[in-house]
Amino acid sequence: MKRFSKIRWIAALLVVVGAVVFLSFKSGDSRSFQIAKNLDIFNSIVKELDMFYVDTIDPNKTIRDGIDAMLYSLDPYTTYYPEEDQSELEMMLKNSYGGIGSIIRYDPKLKRTVIAEPYEHMPAAEVGLKAGDILLDIDGKDLEGNKDVSTLLKGQTGTSFKLRVKRPGVDKPLVFNIVRRSIQLPFIPYYTVLDNNIGYINLSTFSGNPSKEFKQAFLDLKKQGITSLVIDLRNNGGGSLEESIEIANFFLPRGKTLVTTKGKIAQSSNSYKTLREPLDLEIPLAVLVNSGTASASEILAGSLQDLDRAVIIGNRTFGKGLVQTPRPLPYGATMKITTSKYYIPSGRCVQAIDYKHRNEDGSVGRIPDSLTTVFHTAAGREVRDGGGVTPDIEVKQDKLPNILYYLVNDNLIFDYATQYCLKHPTIPSPEKFEVTDADYADFKAMVKKADFKYDQQTEKILKNLKEMAEFEGYLTDASEEFKILEKKLTHNLDRDLNHFSKEIKNMIADEIIKRYYYQRGSIIQQLKDDDGLKEAVKVLNDLPKYKEMLSVPVVPAVKKESAKPV
């Protein structure tokens, strides 16, 4: 009897303890309880859908959509990679992949994929594929209507396949045997010596190991006698934080703290210093940036600005001050998760968008300038957080004309370049090449023959204004004025092709040069009339001005008037 009572007492005690544990779990550790509760609900929802939904669901797609939506609600950089997408993650982290080395695009009119731009020294270019080649089949598999040809072209390095293409201007299809290789996109697609011994290095990415190539390029330029340097980071979307610090270290003393990361847990909070002896502490530097300069690029540009080591020129950078870390998941999956924010030497964070505080509709916007904080460079110059790196010299960004957008979108410039290359086996060097008036006349004739139509924003706005005026009862009194405006804003293709000939010619030249001289040639073409580079050259040719820009402006003392008797 006593034993039975004891068992009852223990059972009662366990019930009480269980209740206490449950209540403490529910109240004292409410976050853990909420997570457990919602995971249970999510699990039940999937099971209920699988059992009762009117159509059979694809569990992989349904759950993947849910995961993607959940992660995107946090920020665009926290992403999930299932086992089958690991190659994509690997490519992003290392800037390399197994494939043929070419940009491709799907042409909806042809319902086929077209080679858009082969990379120099890569399998596609080496076997003779050219921009404009239309992909017909891979190992006999017809590619018509296939919008995911990229996955067929990529694969294990060393594997081979037969690619059959239709080349414009050639009667019979061409067949190429291609062996996939590890495709390493160029870190330094172009570097050179400009006038007055100014060096120029175009750095395209921080993924992989670009610091090694950058060092080689810089030392080569030093041998050629450069006395100042332009580093072009425009449209460089970033990559490795460590690589940006390594390159900054070439121009900054050892032991400087360049980046501090701060996250929720201790492992996410670190300080990164320059660890090596620099290559050159004295050479004047100008860094070109734009709205496509992001992440690790902003670390390099921002650190050189904060330590008054370089003049930053161009447009405000993208504003990505968030750090991602890959985390392993079950079944071979990985999640790239935002674990911290980074802060550059002045103490500022360049993050431009506050994803934590969203608008009521879920949208996000840039942090307004009024809410940013003033920080100071090592010399005492004012800089701000909250919106990327603001350049020391602002360069107005030219807006492309509306007609050019439609010419590119309709592939008319691309197709003209393809036809041009059929007639011209060779062209002059990128520095000397230009689209002649005769070439442009041929292009205009092709555009007209194609019955090209494009959207004119002024006509759209005028139509909307006219409809609103009619709705509000003003149209009758203003009908003559509207007629005059309509006459002046009439769609005129000849006029627009002539008015915007400079911009269109430049785009045509860029597309043609790429066919012969690849990415390097394209950069040379773009630098011919580059306002940012002009500003960089201007400031590097004026050393007193350069030094003044990196110093605190001297504020003249206010002269006190002597007191006068009244």
- Among the options 207, 244, 295, 340, which is catalytic? 295
What's the N-to-C CA distance of the chain in angstroms? 112
* Residue 85, φ and ψ in degrees, nearest 5: -105, 15
DSSP secondary structure of 492-516? -HHHHHHHTHHHHHHHHHHHHHHHH
- Among the options 133, 306, 385, 510, which is catalytic? 306
Map 120-162 to HEC letters. CCCHHHHHCCCCCCEEEEECCEECCCCCCHHHHHCCCCCCEEE
**Pairing outcome for strands 285-289 and 311-314:** parallel
Is residue 306 part of the annotated active site? The answer reads yes
Instruction: Enter the tokens of residue 80.
Output: 């999930």
What is the CA angle 152-156-158, rounded to 5?
A: 110
- Among the options 256, 320, 444, 514, which is catalytic? 320
Is residue 320 part of the annotated active site? The answer reads yes
Q: CB under 8 Å to 194, separation ≥6 — which residues?
A: 200, 230, 537
Please give the Cα distance from 531 to 359 (Å, whole number).
37
Map 239-300 to HEC letters. ECHHHHHHHHHCCCCCCCEEEEEEECCHHHCEEEECCCCCCCCCCCEEEEECCCCCCHHHHH
Is residue 398 part of the annotated active site? The answer reads no
* Residue 45, φ and ψ in degrees, nearest 5: -60, -45
Active site residues: 295, 306, 320
